[in-house]
Chain A
Amino acid sequence: MIDGEEDIIKSAIQGEASAFGLLYKHYQPSIYRFVYLKVGRREEAEDLTHHVFLKAWQNIENFKPRGFPFSSWLYRMARNQVIDFYRTAKGNISIDDLDSDIFRSSDDTEGSFDLSLLLASARKAILELKPEHQDVIIMRFVEDLSVREVAEALKKSEGAVKLLQHRAMEKLREILHD
């Protein structure tokens, strides 16, 4: 959460582009990662993330803070955007078609290569999970969101999120051990 986020959001609601720019710069990487890990391709992730923030800009006046973070609102829109993406023909992406150069490091040492392989397999394993499990794994372990923030983004109770998290981790371990 950015310092003085409420004021920034108020300014953005009034149409101040610079205020929205601050929100964009802070949240865009997280939303991009979330979308990327769910669709597996850079181009699609860029396109969908762009649409999420475009929607956010056009509908920001509908955002009611009420103690909930702006990030939850963005994640919810990103989730819906990905769902729409998979509903269309565009969403038929094979795991084998995933971008493989995402973790390519500048130093081609053996350790970084191993890490790249490990991360690529984790990424593929995430894509094999159910969408709900993907959401919880990405938000909780990649983005470090609190259970409450995840619950708000997924419109579920905190207890349900904890249960989902437990099941998602079990499933992920299963996939990685196979």
Chain B
Amino acid sequence: MTNLEHILKKLKHIEPEQHYADRSLHTIVMTPRTSRASWFSFTFFRVAEYGAAVALVGLLLVVMLGNSSLVTTFSPIQSNSLSSGGLRAEAEAIDIQIKLLDLDYEESSSTLIKKSTTPILRKKTSRQVIAPLETTTSTIANESTTPPTVDEVLDLLAE
């Protein structure tokens, strides 16, 4: 052991006063112990309990005040299709689509008839057949709004 280490060992003679030590110990053990863990868990559960209560009240208010909008937003089925207004709008939209399809059909059908009758006319078949066909095609071409039905065309041919 060096001389310095020997001197340092001597510092062990430093000691607190007995009176101070006794007084300090007495004060310490008389101090109520605040368990940090239990305080934390206590506080945590109290805060969680309060928070849950507030959240439930808030949810209840939202349900009460905004029921319809909430159902609309969160419902898996689109409620628009179940309302009468929605159904009517949907039905009207379908009708429009049908009319548009008919228009398209009318245009194409008149063209088709014209195409099919042209070769017959070129072959110069009997006037009995050609005359009504010509009349029919010209009628169809002129009457673009009301296309003739198949029965009407046959009736025309039969005349």
How far apart are the CA atoms of A54 and B24 in the complex, in Å?
9
> Could you say which of A1-9, A17-25, A80-88, A146-154 contacts chain B?
A17-25
The interface residues of chain B lying within 8 Å CB-to-CB of A46 are 16-17, 20, 24
Asked if A61 lies at the interface with its beta carbon under 8 angstroms from chain B, I say yes
* Interface size of A in residues (CB-CB distance below 8 Å): 39
Number of A-B contacts (CB under 8 A): 86
How far apart are the CA atoms of A142 and B6 in the complex, in Å?
9
Q: Is the CB of B8 within 8 A of A17?
A: no
Q: Is the CB of A122 within 8 A of B8?
A: yes
* Interface size of B in residues (CB-CB distance below 8 Å): 26
Interface string of A41-59 (1 = CB under 8 A from B): 0000110011001100111
Asked if B10 lies at the interface with its beta carbon under 8 angstroms from chain A, I say yes
Interface class of chain B by DSSP:
helix
Asked if A119 lies at the interface with its beta carbon under 8 angstroms from chain B, I say yes
Asked if A172 lies at the interface with its beta carbon under 8 angstroms from chain B, I say yes
How far apart are the CA atoms of A49 and B15 in the complex, in Å?
12
B29 in complex: contacting residue of A17, A29, A141, CB < 8 Å = A17
How far apart are the CA atoms of A177 and B20 in the complex, in Å?
36
Interface string of B10-36 (1 = CB under 8 A from A): 111111110011001101110101111
The interface residues of chain A lying within 8 Å CB-to-CB of B5 are 141
Q: Is the CB of A62 within 8 A of B7?
A: no
Q: Given the known inter-chain contacts A141-B8, A142-B12, please indicate yes or no for A57 contacting B34, CB distance below 8 A.
A: no
Binding site for B on A (CB under 8 A): 15, 17, 20-21, 24-25, 28-29, 32-33, 36-37, 45-46, 49-50, 53-54, 57-59, 61-62, 102-103, 115, 118-119, 122-123, 137-138, 141-143, 169, 172-173, 176
